[in-house]
Amino acid sequence: MKIDVDNQHGFVELVDWMTVNPSEKITDAARVSYDRDGAHDAEKDARLIARLAKDGHWSPFRHSPVTLMVSCPEFVARQWYKHVVGSTYAFVDTGWNEVSQRYSEVLHAYYPDVVHVQSSVSKQGSAEAMDELHAKQLRESIETSLLHYHYLIAHGMSREEARMALPLAVYTRFYWTASQQALKHFVSLRTHSTAQSHIRFYADAVNTICDHHYGQAWKAFE
Protein backbone atom coordinates (compact mmCIF):
# COMPACT_ATOMS: atom_id res chain seq x y z
CA MET A 1 0.00 0.00 0.00
CA LYS A 2 1.50 3.31 -1.11
CA ILE A 3 0.02 6.78 -0.65
CA ASP A 4 1.15 9.87 -2.58
CA VAL A 5 1.35 12.83 -0.22
CA ASP A 6 2.25 16.01 -2.08
CA ASN A 7 1.93 15.30 -5.83
CA GLN A 8 5.69 15.80 -6.12
CA HIS A 9 8.07 13.19 -4.69
CA GLY A 10 6.55 12.58 -1.26
CA PHE A 11 4.92 9.29 -0.32
CA VAL A 12 4.38 6.77 2.48
CA GLU A 13 4.49 3.06 1.63
CA LEU A 14 3.81 -0.02 3.75
CA VAL A 15 6.64 -2.38 2.78
CA ASP A 16 6.55 -5.09 5.45
CA TRP A 17 4.43 -6.40 8.31
CA MET A 18 4.17 -9.44 10.54
CA THR A 19 2.02 -12.31 9.30
CA VAL A 20 -0.12 -12.94 12.40
CA ASN A 21 -3.40 -11.02 12.58
CA PRO A 22 -2.67 -7.99 14.83
CA SER A 23 -5.90 -8.35 16.82
CA GLU A 24 -5.16 -11.99 17.60
CA LYS A 25 -1.60 -11.23 18.54
CA ILE A 26 -2.65 -8.40 20.86
CA THR A 27 -5.20 -10.56 22.68
CA ASP A 28 -2.80 -13.51 22.91
CA ALA A 29 -0.13 -11.25 24.42
CA ALA A 30 -2.65 -9.96 26.96
CA ARG A 31 -4.16 -13.37 27.85
CA VAL A 32 -0.84 -15.13 28.30
CA SER A 33 -0.75 -13.63 31.81
CA TYR A 34 -3.59 -16.04 32.62
CA ASP A 35 -2.18 -18.85 30.45
CA ARG A 36 -5.24 -18.49 28.21
CA ASP A 37 -3.68 -17.40 24.92
CA GLY A 38 -4.56 -19.17 21.67
CA ALA A 39 -8.37 -19.20 21.86
CA HIS A 40 -10.19 -16.48 19.92
CA ASP A 41 -13.71 -15.13 19.70
CA ALA A 42 -14.20 -12.01 17.58
CA GLU A 43 -16.52 -10.24 20.03
CA LYS A 44 -14.45 -11.09 23.09
CA ASP A 45 -11.26 -10.07 21.31
CA ALA A 46 -12.79 -6.72 20.33
CA ARG A 47 -13.90 -6.03 23.91
CA LEU A 48 -10.49 -6.95 25.29
CA ILE A 49 -8.66 -4.75 22.79
CA ALA A 50 -10.94 -1.82 23.60
CA ARG A 51 -10.37 -2.28 27.34
CA LEU A 52 -6.59 -2.55 26.94
CA ALA A 53 -6.53 0.70 24.95
CA LYS A 54 -8.87 2.50 27.34
CA ASP A 55 -6.88 1.48 30.40
CA GLY A 56 -3.50 2.26 28.82
CA HIS A 57 -2.10 -1.28 28.79
CA TRP A 58 0.26 -0.66 25.88
CA SER A 59 2.65 -3.62 25.84
CA PRO A 60 0.30 -5.95 23.88
CA PHE A 61 0.17 -3.31 21.12
CA ARG A 62 3.93 -3.50 20.61
CA HIS A 63 4.03 -7.02 19.16
CA SER A 64 2.90 -6.27 15.59
CA PRO A 65 5.29 -3.67 14.14
CA VAL A 66 5.25 -2.57 10.51
CA THR A 67 7.93 -1.11 8.28
CA LEU A 68 7.13 2.03 6.32
CA MET A 69 9.20 3.60 3.56
CA VAL A 70 8.85 7.37 3.47
CA SER A 71 9.97 10.02 1.01
CA CYS A 72 9.62 13.53 2.40
CA PRO A 73 11.43 16.88 2.66
CA GLU A 74 14.25 17.12 5.19
CA PHE A 75 12.34 19.54 7.41
CA VAL A 76 9.54 16.97 7.74
CA ALA A 77 11.98 14.09 8.39
CA ARG A 78 13.72 16.01 11.17
CA GLN A 79 10.40 16.46 12.97
CA TRP A 80 9.55 12.82 12.34
CA TYR A 81 12.84 11.61 13.82
CA LYS A 82 11.86 13.01 17.21
CA HIS A 83 9.53 10.03 17.46
CA VAL A 84 12.55 7.71 17.42
CA VAL A 85 14.39 9.37 20.31
CA GLY A 86 11.75 11.50 21.99
CA SER A 87 9.84 8.94 24.07
CA THR A 88 10.88 6.29 26.56
CA TYR A 89 9.24 3.46 24.60
CA ALA A 90 10.25 4.81 21.19
CA PHE A 91 13.97 4.29 21.60
CA VAL A 92 13.59 0.50 21.73
CA ASP A 93 10.45 0.29 19.62
CA THR A 94 11.61 1.91 16.40
CA GLY A 95 14.19 1.38 13.69
CA TRP A 96 15.27 4.16 11.33
CA ASN A 97 17.56 3.94 8.29
CA GLU A 98 17.87 6.91 5.95
CA VAL A 99 19.49 7.89 2.67
CA SER A 100 22.91 9.48 3.31
CA GLN A 101 23.90 12.62 1.43
CA ARG A 102 27.52 11.55 1.89
CA TYR A 103 26.98 8.48 -0.27
CA SER A 104 24.40 9.69 -2.80
CA GLU A 105 23.60 12.85 -4.72
CA VAL A 106 20.41 14.76 -3.97
CA LEU A 107 18.11 14.98 -6.98
CA HIS A 108 14.79 16.45 -5.84
CA ALA A 109 13.44 19.26 -3.70
CA TYR A 110 9.97 20.14 -2.49
CA TYR A 111 8.51 23.34 -3.99
CA PRO A 112 5.59 24.75 -1.96
CA ASP A 113 2.51 26.03 -3.72
CA VAL A 114 1.58 28.32 -0.83
CA VAL A 115 3.54 30.01 1.98
CA HIS A 116 2.21 31.65 5.14
CA VAL A 117 2.97 34.51 7.50
CA GLN A 118 4.42 33.82 10.94
CA SER A 119 1.70 33.28 13.53
CA SER A 120 1.41 36.03 16.12
CA VAL A 121 0.11 33.61 18.78
CA SER A 122 2.28 30.54 18.13
CA LYS A 123 6.07 30.79 18.16
CA GLN A 124 6.48 27.71 15.97
CA GLY A 125 3.40 28.10 13.76
CA SER A 126 2.14 29.91 10.69
CA ALA A 127 -1.04 31.83 9.99
CA GLU A 128 -2.78 33.07 6.85
CA ALA A 129 -1.43 32.55 3.35
CA MET A 130 0.86 35.11 1.72
CA ASP A 131 0.58 36.22 -1.88
CA GLU A 132 1.99 34.20 -4.78
CA LEU A 133 5.01 36.49 -5.14
CA HIS A 134 6.42 35.30 -1.82
CA ALA A 135 5.80 31.66 -2.70
CA LYS A 136 7.60 32.22 -6.00
CA GLN A 137 10.56 33.81 -4.20
CA LEU A 138 10.90 30.80 -1.91
CA ARG A 139 10.70 28.36 -4.82
CA GLU A 140 13.39 30.33 -6.67
CA SER A 141 15.62 30.29 -3.58
CA ILE A 142 15.26 26.51 -3.30
CA GLU A 143 16.03 26.06 -7.00
CA THR A 144 19.10 28.31 -6.79
CA SER A 145 20.48 26.37 -3.82
CA LEU A 146 20.00 23.08 -5.65
CA LEU A 147 21.72 24.45 -8.76
CA HIS A 148 24.70 25.62 -6.67
CA TYR A 149 24.89 22.18 -5.05
CA HIS A 150 24.98 20.38 -8.41
CA TYR A 151 27.55 22.89 -9.71
CA LEU A 152 29.86 22.11 -6.78
CA ILE A 153 29.42 18.36 -7.30
CA ALA A 154 30.11 18.70 -11.03
CA HIS A 155 33.36 20.54 -10.26
CA GLY A 156 34.64 17.82 -7.97
CA MET A 157 33.62 18.90 -4.48
CA SER A 158 32.91 16.01 -2.10
CA ARG A 159 29.26 15.19 -1.52
CA GLU A 160 29.71 15.47 2.25
CA GLU A 161 30.79 19.12 1.88
CA ALA A 162 28.64 20.17 -1.08
CA ARG A 163 25.55 19.16 0.92
CA MET A 164 26.12 22.20 3.14
CA ALA A 165 24.57 24.27 0.35
CA LEU A 166 21.34 22.25 0.34
CA PRO A 167 18.09 23.71 1.65
CA LEU A 168 15.85 21.82 4.07
CA ALA A 169 13.37 21.45 1.21
CA VAL A 170 15.35 18.62 -0.42
CA TYR A 171 13.80 15.16 -0.26
CA THR A 172 15.17 12.38 1.86
CA ARG A 173 13.97 8.78 2.09
CA PHE A 174 13.98 6.41 5.05
CA TYR A 175 12.68 3.10 6.39
CA TRP A 176 10.85 3.31 9.72
CA THR A 177 9.94 0.19 11.68
CA ALA A 178 7.64 0.95 14.58
CA SER A 179 5.14 -0.75 16.88
CA GLN A 180 1.47 0.04 16.79
CA GLN A 181 1.83 2.14 19.93
CA ALA A 182 4.67 4.18 18.43
CA LEU A 183 2.70 4.65 15.22
CA LYS A 184 -0.38 5.84 17.10
CA HIS A 185 1.72 8.23 19.17
CA PHE A 186 3.09 9.75 15.96
CA VAL A 187 -0.35 10.04 14.36
CA SER A 188 -1.94 11.54 17.47
CA LEU A 189 0.64 14.31 17.73
CA ARG A 190 1.20 15.03 14.05
CA THR A 191 -2.44 15.12 12.93
CA HIS A 192 -3.25 17.67 15.63
CA SER A 193 -4.37 21.08 14.38
CA THR A 194 -1.26 22.70 15.88
CA ALA A 195 1.14 20.47 13.93
CA GLN A 196 2.77 21.85 10.78
CA SER A 197 0.53 21.18 7.79
CA HIS A 198 3.30 19.47 5.79
CA ILE A 199 3.83 16.72 8.37
CA ARG A 200 0.07 16.45 8.95
CA PHE A 201 -0.31 15.23 5.37
CA TYR A 202 2.20 12.45 6.07
CA ALA A 203 0.56 11.60 9.40
CA ASP A 204 -2.79 11.32 7.61
CA ALA A 205 -1.19 8.86 5.18
CA VAL A 206 0.26 6.81 8.07
CA ASN A 207 -3.15 6.84 9.73
CA THR A 208 -4.83 5.54 6.56
CA ILE A 209 -2.28 2.74 6.17
CA CYS A 210 -2.51 1.72 9.83
CA ASP A 211 -6.30 1.83 9.84
CA HIS A 212 -6.29 -0.53 6.86
CA HIS A 213 -3.65 -2.85 8.34
CA TYR A 214 -4.61 -2.98 12.04
CA GLY A 215 -8.38 -2.66 11.64
CA GLN A 216 -10.22 -2.97 14.95
CA ALA A 217 -6.94 -2.85 16.85
CA TRP A 218 -6.27 0.63 15.40
CA LYS A 219 -9.81 1.92 15.92
CA ALA A 220 -9.61 0.93 19.60
CA PHE A 221 -7.13 3.75 20.16
CA GLU A 222 -9.80 6.26 19.19
Question: Using one digit for the tens of pLDDT, what is the confidence trace for 123-146?
Answer: 777 778 889 999 999 999 999 999
- Is 200 a known active-site residue? no
Q: What is the mean pLDDT of residues 16-32?
A: 93
Q: Residue 29 pLDDT more than 70? A: yes
- pLDDT, residue 103, reads 95
Return the domain boundaries, the chain: 2-105+170-219, 116-165
pLDDT, tens digit (0-9, with 9 covering 90-100), for 74-113: 999 999 998 876 555 555 667 899 999 999 999 999 999 9
Q: Is 124 helix (H, G, I), strand (E, B) or coil?
A: coil
Q: What is the mean pLDDT of the chain?
A: 91
Q: Residue 190 pLDDT more than 80? A: yes
pLDDT, tens digit (0-9, with 9 covering 90-100), for 39-63: 888 899 999 999 999 998 889 999 9
Catalytic residue selected from 36, 102, 190, 200? 190
With beta carbons less than 8 A apart as the criterion, state whether 142 and 109 touch: yes
| DSSP 8-state assignment for residue 165 | G
- pLDDT, residue 89, reads 55
**Domain 2-105+170-219, classified CATH 3.30.1360.170, yes or no:** yes
DSSP line for 21-85: -HHHHHHHHHHGGGT-TT---HHHHHHHHHHHHHHT--GGGGSS-EEEEEEEEHHHHHHHHHHHH
- pLDDT, residue 93, reads 62
* Stated pTM of the model: 0.90
